[in-house]
Amino acid sequence: MTMPRTRSFAQIDVFSTVPYSGNPVAVVLDGADLTDEEMQRLARWTNLSETTFVLPPTVPEADYRLRIFTPQGELPFAGHPTLGSARAWLDGGGTPQHADGIVQECAAGLVTVRRGKGTLSFAAPPRVRDGALDDTYLNQIVAAFGITRDQVVAHQWVDNGPGWAVLQLRTAEEVLALEPDLSLIPAAMVGAIGAYPEGSGHNFEMRTFAPGAGVPEDPACGSMNAAVGQWLTATGAAPSTYRVSQGTRLGRAASIEITVDADGTVWVTGAATVCIRGTIFL
């Protein structure tokens, strides 16, 4: 067991410019000597969707290595923890070695994070699984969502590590109306997205349900938005730049921008604000 000591700690609000209206992530900026069990215990205790630990990189091109834990287990990649941890690292005095951005090492590989005016963006990692859902799984999700098959415009595996699947519904209103029975899909990692009317402040509403990670509904999910962005822009179902609202049913005000570069890279952009800065005895 690691001997407890004082470590730098931050809590970051991600994907909202309104304080305490996005998705929080807890960041331990010095996790080098912690065991897996000690990291998991803290993640259970914070009871946030994710808690992260910054470690020295194992490859020369990375600025740091990140481990990401939900209350129930470790993830190879997650979006809002990537942006929140980058903000905490910069706030703690971190200096990128690359002029074009921060390079994060995680279990899913290297992820580039770039800085904008008051925002951070990460490059969407490759999907490890895509394609349409099989009928059995689709029917389970439809039943859990309490909807009918004809309400599903499209469906897809959008898995970039956590195991995401998504259903596209006709409207944002239908997405906001969902009252899912997650006991019917206890191991699922699934989202729903639907369009707002033209001229609205956002193009889509997203909701993300992660009972498989111990998170009934995530207020704002970067990894889901990254993979959905790759899918929707590749099929022409969304423009090369669009905005997603998330967390509305949870009383949050998350805003996520998806942009596709000329080379096809999908970037996920949002605000990331330090709300708590201090130390943790761990």
Give the span between the Cα atoms of 121 and 43, in whole angstroms.
24
For residue 28, pLDDT over 90 is answered with yes
Give mean pLDDT, residues 41-58: 97
Q: Which of 38, 50, 61, 179 is catalytic?
A: 50
* CA 224/CA 215 separation, integer angstroms: 14
Distance between alpha carbon 135 and the CA centroid of its chain, in Å?
26
Q: Cβ contacts of residue 201 below 8 Å, gap of 6+?
A: 243, 245
What value does the mean pLDDT take over residues 222-230? 97
For 262-268, what is the mean pLDDT? 96
Confidence of residue 142 (pLDDT cuts 50, 70, 90): very high
Which pLDDT tens digit goes with each residue over 98-141?
Answer: 888 999 999 999 999 999 999 999 999 999 999 999 999 999 99
Q: Helix 222-235 vs helix 79-91: angle between axes, to the nearest 10 degrees?
A: 120
List Cβ neighbours of 206 (8 Å cut-off, separation of 6 or more).
Answer: 175, 191, 192, 193, 221, 224, 225, 228, 244, 245, 246, 256
Domains of the chain: 6-124+270-281 (3.10.310.10), 135-262 (3.10.310.10)
Residue 102 near residue 112, CB atoms below 8 Å:
yes
Does 50 qualify as catalytic in the annotation? yes
1 confidence band (pLDDT: 50, 70, 90): confident
Q: Give the pLDDT confidence score for residue 215 in this predicted structure.
A: 92
Cite the beta strand spans of the chain per DSSP E: 6-14, 23-28, 51-55, 64-69, 74-75, 102-106, 109-115, 120-123, 152-157, 165-171, 190-195, 204-210, 215-218, 241-246, 254-260, 266-270, 272-281
List Cβ neighbours of 159 (8 Å cut-off, separation of 6 or more). Answer: 127, 128, 129, 130, 165, 227
